[in-house]
Amino acid sequence: MADFTLPELGENVTSGDVLRVLVNPGDTLATGQVVLELETDKATIEVPSPVDGRVAEVYVKVGDKIDVGQLVLRVNEEGTVPAGPGRRVPDGEAPGSVETGGAAPGVGEGSAAPSVRRLARELGVDIADVPGSERAVPGGLVERASVATESA
C-alpha cells in the first residue's frame, strides 16, 4: 500500500479546496493520472498521481479544505501494472482508458476565477446559474459582481 498525500503546490501555497475527486475506491490508477481538482487562492490545479495501482481508499471529498502533506488516498500497488505493449489489460477495461469523472467546466459553463468561485460558495450561489460576461472572454466569464447580484 502507498499513501498519496497532497504534494507541494507552489510557492506560498499551503492548502486548497477540493473541487472534484476524480477517482473512487477500486479504480485503476496510472502515474500522472489526475486524481483531484483543487482550488487555491491563486489557481485551480489538477493534482496527478505519482503511482500506479488500484485505489483502496479515498480520504477527501468535494468541499474539503486540505493541506499540503494531508492524506488524500491510499493505493494498492501490488499486482497492478498499467496497460501497454506486452502487458495484460484487466477484463472489461480498454487499453489506455482513464475515467475522469466528467469534463471540467469550460468557458460559458460557469467558468470563473478561484476567488469568484469561493465567493459564490460563501454566498450559497451555484456558479453554473450565474451568467458569464462576454467582456472578458468570448462565451462568458463569471465575475464577482454577477455573483453578488445573483445572491441578492
User: What tens digit of pLDDT does each residue of 28-37 get?
Assistant: 988 888 999 9
CA distances (Å), origin 28, targets 5, 68, 71, 83, 117: 18, 24, 19, 10, 31
CATH number for the domain spanning 136: value is 4.10.320
What are the CA-CA distances from residue 67 to residues 12, 49, 56 (Å)?
12, 16, 21
Domain boundary among the residues 18, 47, 76 is at: 76
For residues 7 and 70, membership in a common domain is answered with yes
Q: What is the pTM of this model?
A: 0.54
Domain that holds residue 31: 2-76
89 domain-assigned = no
In this predicted structure, the answer to whether residue 126 has a pLDDT above a threshold of 70 is yes
End of a domain among 46, 76, 106? 76
Tell me, yes or no, whether 17 and 63 share the same domain.
yes
19 within some domain? yes
Task: Inform me whether the pLDDT recorded for 10 exceeds 60.
Answer: yes
Residue 105 forms part of a structural domain? no
8 A C-beta contact, residue 115 and residue 41: yes
CB 127 within 8 A of CB 144: no
- Report, as an integer, the average pLDDT of 43-56: 89
pLDDT in tens, 83-116: 433 333 344 444 443 333 333 333 334 467 777 7
> Is 130 in contact with 150 (CB distance < 8 Å)?
yes
pLDDT of residue 137: 52
Q: How far is C-alpha 92 from the chain's CA centre?
A: 25
